Structure 1
Amino acid sequence: MSDCIFCKIASKEIPADIVYEDGHLVVFKDVKPVAPDHLLLIPKKHFSSPLDFGEEDIETAGRLMVTAARIAREMGFAEKGFRVVCNCGRDGGQTVSHIHYHLLAGRALQWPPG
Structure 2
Amino acid sequence: MSNSSIFKQIVEKKISANIIYEDKKITAFEDIKPKAPVHILIIPNIFIASLNDINKKNKDILGHMFYIAVNIAKEKKISKEGYRIVVNCNKNAGQEIEYLHMHLLGGKKLSVLL
The answer to whether the aligner puts 1:97 opposite 2:86 as a matched pair is no
Mapping of 1:65-80 within 5 angstroms? 65-80=66-81
1:57 alignment partner in structure 2: 58
Work out the CA distance in 2 between the residues paired with 1:69 and 1:77.
10
The one-letter code matched in structure 1 to 2:96 is T
- 1:87 equivalent to 2:83? Answer no
Partner of residue 3, structure 1: 4
Secondary structure at the residue paired with 1:9? helix
Write the deviation string for residues 47-90 of structure 1: whole angstroms up to 9, x where unpaired: 11011110221211110000000111111110110000001111
Q: Which stretches in structure 2 are left out of the alignment for 5+ residues?
A: none
TM-score (norm 1): 0.95
Tell me by how many angstroms 1:14 deviates.
Answer: 0.7
Q: Quick one: percent identity of the two aligned structures?
A: 36
Q: Distance in 1 between matches of 2:19 and 2:9?
A: 13
- RMSD between aligned residues: 1.0
Distance, in Å, in 2 between the alignment partners of 1:48 and 1:58 is 13
Runs ≥4 in structure 1, deviation > 6 angstroms?
Answer: none
TM-score by length of 2: 0.95
